[in-house]
Amino acid sequence: MLSIAILAACVVSGAVLFLPFLRNRPVWRAMVTPLASIIGSGFLVLGPILAEGYGAWAPVVMALLCLGAWAFGSAIRENIKRIGDDNDDRSGYEMVASAMLALAYVISVAYYLNLFGAFAVQVSPWQSQFAARIVTTAMFLLVLFLGYGRGFTMLERAEYLTVTIKLAIITGLIVGLAWFFYDAGSAGELFVPELHTGGWPAITLAFGLLVTVQGFETSRYLGNSYDAKTRISSMRLAQIVSTLIYVVYVVLLVFAHHVPEGELSETAIIDMMKDVSPILPGLLILAALAAQFSAAVADTGGSGGLLVELSKRRLTAKQGYAVLCLIGIALTWTADVFEIISYASRAFALYYAAQAGIAARHASGARRFAWIALAALGLAIAIFGQSIEG
């Protein structure tokens, strides 16, 4: 019955998302890009990390992560409002911010494709870090090949389909978790997990998880397709929807599911969901693969354009793709997924700090003080953010 309910939830939610009245609404279409970036496979990795590190406090930490993301999003929305529909700010401050974002994109593509490799080997007989790195390297080479052809254009057209599949599967996951949570509560099997990380290490670990709720900043760069008002609304809506999904997911997970003993794996959620329904692991792997590859392609395209702009056209987009892929392959073979998550969080924190600094420069009074404090928080995250030990 539960498997049927999960499949029904996936089918119904997917059908609703494809209804023309929703699909053709400008705000919804504009929301798809940031929502796709926010809820990637980081969504799947985050649950076990929070449960293992923070125990019963995991929902609070999740809410604080989303609150921090909302604050940084507010700074970016302020800058969108100031710039207006031209979406053009060539100031030195904005160029610094663009440089930070280009760096963040380079690392985030490595993060996406390393998660792709980790989840891909789960359906193969070769479940090892070496095999995952081989898959990741192959995907980088595929992305590079597509970047030299017309593959990005083709894949971008499939973005809505990919996002719909992912959100439909997440709906099924929430239904499965809610059913399991209710059954565990009825049987008196809910528990309060212990706190394993406290004090300053708990704070620096949270800093290192910022990348798992990033992606809202993509609304800043949709000026060629949507006006400022639509981009601001789409970012707000994407962050509200993703916050609801994240918090509900973490609450349902941490009080009813024990994290597997031993070293924490980036695919721990797969083992945890085997107890819920036999169909969930396969669905989650499908969602992870679709989400990570599409996100990697999108960020590769974005970073290519930024590198062209920052180099004043000394680099072509194709050369930018090559640089990104070479750095990504180097990261793949020298760092694990959790370290790359931390690096990406730091890079995005620098970008958010720069955006908050730009907002402060154009504000006054209490608002200026608030943006300066937010910029300081971004710098602190970049300096002190730590990775979880696998």
- Residue ranges of domains in the chain: 1-384
Backbone angles phi, psi at 55, to 5 degrees: 55, -130
The predicted model scores a pTM of 0.84
For residue 304, give both structure tokens.
């290519």
pLDDT of residue 310: 76
More confident residue, 356 or 344: 356
User: Does residue 347 carry a pLDDT above 90?
Assistant: no
How far apart are alpha carbons 170 and 43 in whole angstroms?
Answer: 9
CB 293 within 8 A of CB 136: no
Q: What is the mean pLDDT of residues 103-112?
A: 83
Report the amino acid identity of residue 25.
Answer: R
User: Does residue 390 carry a pLDDT above 50?
Assistant: no
pLDDT of residue 166: 82
The sign of the torsion formed by the CA atoms of 47, 264, 335, 386 equals: positive
Q: What is the mean pLDDT of residues 31-45?
A: 76
How far apart are alpha carbons 49 and 26 in whole angstroms?
Answer: 36
Find the range with the poorest average confidence among 232-241, 246-255, 281-290: 281-290
Taking each helix axis from N to C end, the angle separating 129-147 and 317-334, rounded to the nearest 10 degrees, works out to: 180
B/e letters for 122-145, b = 16+ CB within 10 Å, e = fewer, are beeeeeebebbbbbbbebbebbbe
How far apart are alpha carbons 288 and 268 in whole angstroms?
Answer: 13
Count other C-beta atoms under 10 Å from residue 84's C-beta.
Answer: 13
Helix (H) and strand (E) counts for the chain?
A: 16, 0
Count other C-beta atoms under 10 Å from residue 91's C-beta.
Answer: 10
Find the range with the poorest average confidence among 115-124, 302-311, 365-374: 302-311
- Of residues 51, 48, 72, 73, the one with CA closest to residue 60: 51
Pick the CATH number of 1-384 from 1.10.10.10, 2.60.40.10, 1.10.3720.10, 1.20.1740.10: 1.20.1740.10
User: Does residue 151 carry a pLDDT above 70?
Assistant: no
